[in-house]
Amino acid sequence: MTRAYRIGLIGYGLAGSAFHAPLIATTPGLELASVLTNNPERVSRVRRQHPGARIVGSIEDLFALDLDLVVVASPNRTHVPYAAAALGLGLGVVVDKPLAGTSAEALELVELAEERGLLLTVYQNRRWDGDFLTVRRLIADGELGRVHRFESRFERWRPLIKEGWRENADPAEVGGTLYDLGSHLVDQALALFGPAAEVSAEVDTRRASAGVDDDAFVAVTHVNGVRSHLWTSAITAQVGPRLRVLGDAAGYVKYGLDPQENALRAGLLPGPGWGVEPEGAWGLLGVDGAAKPVPTEPGDYPAFYRGVLGALRGEGPGPVDPRDAVATLTVLEAARRSSAEGVTVRLA
């Protein structure tokens, strides 16, 4: 019998407890061997939810264990040092998005992993959202014709500042909605339509006490001519469509978020019917006056860790090329510069 690959998870906040631990634990061939957390409440949750996992209180204790791969699901400021340390020890690494605070730091990690022949991949789970998979299918099947505009939103209504590093104004924290949710938006756009040629953006702080960006619009012109218009915000009282994709034959409009996040937050685990949306949540395909609902592809976050397992077995590359994360960070940096200087930034 082939042994399971032993995974060490760094962090048990929302990312670690909801987006990583359940998927690792339910992937045959992977074992959640250890969790690093010092928070007493989180220690109790690990013991309850994953009693077989060893709990450690320091990064040194984690790295002293017999592991095959480390998952970095801790605050953004720790992504680079923890990932670099794990790679230096010969361990494969999964890093939650964003991979790093800058594209230069991200590229250094990528080159270190390549030099050592180790797995490095980035948890871009939104590539397995049902709506994204549906758009990919519609494009591949020619249902939209030639796409000319892609609109994508992650908008929320959070008028009160939340505690935590995501809304901390210290640049070292790599907080703010542009890097938090914008990492998903840009990654999806580049995955669908390829490299960016030009970037322009509006990045704002609307809640004065926040001190960190909470409202942003990014316009990307891709090398192939498609324009992506991307919104991310914490202060949207009425959200727009999650996706609107316009082609010369038809358009696709989809409201509402993929159900997998809420399911994982609620403690549900992948199984029959996972990621399936009810018919009332389906998007509309067609033209004004002649649009029809189209079934949303089932979302499949578990596919990420199936891909990790395959890469550990030498069956192929990781599920997300880390150089894609470098490209995403390059666009996000261009967006910051565009907003600050009032210019369009050319990348290609």
Q: Write the DSSP assignment of 184-239 as a string of letters.
A: HHHHHHHHHH--EEEEEEEEE--STTT-S--EEEEEEEETTS-EEEEEEESB-SS-
* 159 shares a domain with 117: no
* 136 shares a domain with 197: yes
Q: Name the β-bridge partners of 287.
A: 290
* 273 shares a domain with 165: yes
Task: Please provide residue 200's backbone torsions phi and psi, each rounded to the nearest 5 degrees.
Answer: -135, 150
pLDDT band, residue 154 (cuts 50/70/90): very high
* 110 shares a domain with 81: yes
pLDDT value for 173: 81
pLDDT value for 221: 98
Residue 321 is assigned to a structural domain of this protein = no
* 85 shares a domain with 218: no
Which SS3 state, helix, strand or coil, does residue 267 take?
A: coil
* 148 shares a domain with 56: no
Residue 322 is assigned to a structural domain of this protein = no
pLDDT value for 341: 98
| Burial class of residue 291, CB neighbours in 10 A (0-12, 13-18, 19+) | middle
Which residue is associated with the tokens 């914490």?
234
Residue 325 is assigned to a structural domain of this protein = no
* 134 shares a domain with 214: yes
> Are 215 and 235 within 8 A, CB to CB?
yes
* 291 shares a domain with 173: yes
DSSP string, 57-117: SSHHHHHTS--SEEEE-S-GGGHHHHHHHHHHTT-EEEEESSS-SSHHHHHHHHHHHHHHT
> Are 246 and 147 within 8 A, CB to CB?
yes
Task: Return the structure tokens found at 94.
Answer: 């999964």
Residue 324 is assigned to a structural domain of this protein = no
Question: Structural domain tally of the chain?
Answer: 2
| 268 CB-near residues (< 8 Å, 6+ apart) | none
Residue in 229, 246, 324 with CA at minimum distance from that of residue 286: 246
Instruction: Please compute the mean of the pLDDT values over residues 60-71 and round it to a whole number.
Output: 98
Q: Find the CATH number of the domain harbouring 286.
A: 3.30.360.10
Instruction: Please compute the mean of the pLDDT values over residues 208-216 and round it to a whole number.
Output: 84
Task: Please provide residue 155's backbone torsions phi and psi, each rounded to the nearest 5 degrees.
Answer: -120, 145
pLDDT value for 348: 86
| Burial class of residue 161, CB neighbours in 10 A (0-12, 13-18, 19+) | middle
Residue 221 is assigned to a structural domain of this protein = yes
Tens of pLDDT along 119-151?
999 999 999 999 999 999 999 999 999 999 999
Instruction: Please provide the distance, in angstroms rounded to a whole number, between the alpha carbons at the two ends of the chain.
Output: 50
pLDDT value for 283: 98
* 136 shares a domain with 49: no
* 162 shares a domain with 94: no
pLDDT band, residue 91 (cuts 50/70/90): very high
Q: Which domain holds residue 88?
A: 5-124+304-316
* 43 shares a domain with 156: no
Which SS3 state, helix, strand or coil, does residue 119 take?
A: coil
Residue 176 is assigned to a structural domain of this protein = yes
> Which pairing describes strands 283-287 and 251-254: parallel, antiparallel, or unpaired?
antiparallel
Residue 67 is assigned to a structural domain of this protein = yes
Q: Find the CATH number of the domain harbouring 13.
A: 3.40.50.720
* 120 shares a domain with 131: no
pLDDT at 1 over 70: no
Task: Return the structure tokens found at 158.
Answer: 């959070």
Residue 156 is assigned to a structural domain of this protein = yes
